[in-house]
Structure 1
Amino acid sequence: MFVNPGIFPDAENPKNRNNEYDAFDDRYVTFLLTEIIPQVAERYAIAQSPERWGICGGSSGGNCACTAAWLRPDKFRRVVGYLSSFAQMPDGNPYPDLISRVPRKPLGIFMQGGHRDLQWNEPQWNWLAENLRVAAALAEAGYDFRLVLGDGGHSTNHGGVLLPDALRWLWRPNDD
């Protein structure tokens, strides 16, 4: 299923994407689990095992996907984050510190980054650098993750091409 961010038609800035997707809290994942997924489950069979559940997003949606799985690994165990905009999270990128200081969560994470993503050559708000920091923290903590870098900027082109590979990698057979 695909969920678009909320809008406020009469507001000066009608898009609510950044408020919903960049926040590091449980509001969005709670919304999915209490409002959206139950409606879908009324019409379609949905696997109950968190090993079968994944969440995906790009840019701010990549933040949202990571946060949903981080806060609710009892529901979401597979994450695809394309060009995640960790650099613009309101209180800063919490992941490098969190990943290093809490017990490892049962997550599989596929990350895609662009070598020339937003502010790629700037000392602050550098989207590439923040994705690399998250990847380094995941590596140091022993997570099952994969990072694929492309030479592009902030575009869906590279991530779109990688989606089949990301899904195969996340749901690959294992020895268990």
Structure 2
Amino acid sequence: MPARCAPSKPASLMVFQDGWWYLDPDGEIRGAIVLDNLVHRGDIPVTIGVFVDPGVFLGAEDPKNRNTEYDAFDDRYVDFLLSEIIPEVTKDYSIAEDPDEWGICGGSSGGNCAFTAAWLRPDKFRRVTAFLSSFTQMPGGNPYPELVPRVPSKPLRIFLQAGHRDLRWNEPERNWLANNLRVAAALVEHP
């Protein structure tokens, strides 16, 4: 919660996947500190950060559910945010209803998740930050290069970041950089 946040005044919203990584005050990102500083300087409106970790299966041999949740091309995760997580926040704080004031962020599979959440629900999320998205890991492959040109434009603002030497950068198959570039090209060619 930014220091200037008043529980009764609607605030903007930013949801972070892999919340522990973005929230760690000693980590690389320090998302809460960055949000506080941006709000304090007036660079962004008062924004509540919601830091969500992927689910785990307690007692399972492989307890991680991250890839299942984050790489899926369906609305289960965004519905989870809208029906379970965000209502918990709105019990105590007022969130702006304007989808232009809602953002979603993630890296790697979390970037897939952020992109897909906004793609499927632009009526709620219109700001996307996706770092090093692992589109190549999506079950059934990366749908966006073919999908984007076939649908009417969506009111999204998307920041995609990719690295030149990301996973499989010099391989013809499952190349993370190439898949990010294909998504970016589809968005540019069909704004």
Same fold, TM-score > 0.5, yes or no: yes
The answer as to 2:116 corresponding to 1:67 is yes
Rounded Cα–Cα distance in structure 2 between residues aligned with 1:64 and 1:48: 21
1:118: how far off? 0.4
Which residue does the alignment assign to 1:78?
A: 127
1:53-105 deviation digits (Å, cap 9, x = unpaired): 00000000000000000000000000000000001101100001110100000
Identical aligned residues as a percent = 73
The answer as to 2:54 corresponding to 1:40 is no
Which residue does the alignment assign to 2:69?
A: 20
Secondary structure of 1:114's aligned partner = coil
Letter in 2 for 1:66: F
1:43: how far off? 1.1
Is the radius of gyration larger for structure 1 or structure 2?
Answer: 2
The answer as to 2:60 corresponding to 1:11 is yes
TM-score (norm 1): 0.80
The answer as to 2:86 corresponding to 1:29 is no
Which residue does the alignment assign to 1:159?
A: none
1:113 alignment partner, one of 162, 168, 171? 162
Secondary structure of 1:43's aligned partner = coil
1:10: how far off? 1.2
Rounded Cα–Cα distance in structure 2 between residues aligned with 1:78 and 1:98: 19
Which residue does the alignment assign to 1:91?
A: 140
Rounded Cα–Cα distance in structure 2 between residues aligned with 1:43 and 1:124: 47
Gap regions ≥5 residues in structure 1: 143-176
1:3: how far off? 0.2
Rounded Cα–Cα distance in structure 2 between residues aligned with 1:12 and 1:30: 27
TM-score (norm 2): 0.74
1:9: how far off? 2.0
Which residue does the alignment assign to 1:103?
A: 152
Gap regions ≥5 residues in structure 2: 1-49
Counterparts of 1:41-60 in structure 2, within 5 Å, are 41-60=90-109
1:12: how far off? 1.5
Secondary structure of 2:91's aligned partner = helix
1:119: how far off? 0.5
Letter in 1 for 2:62: N
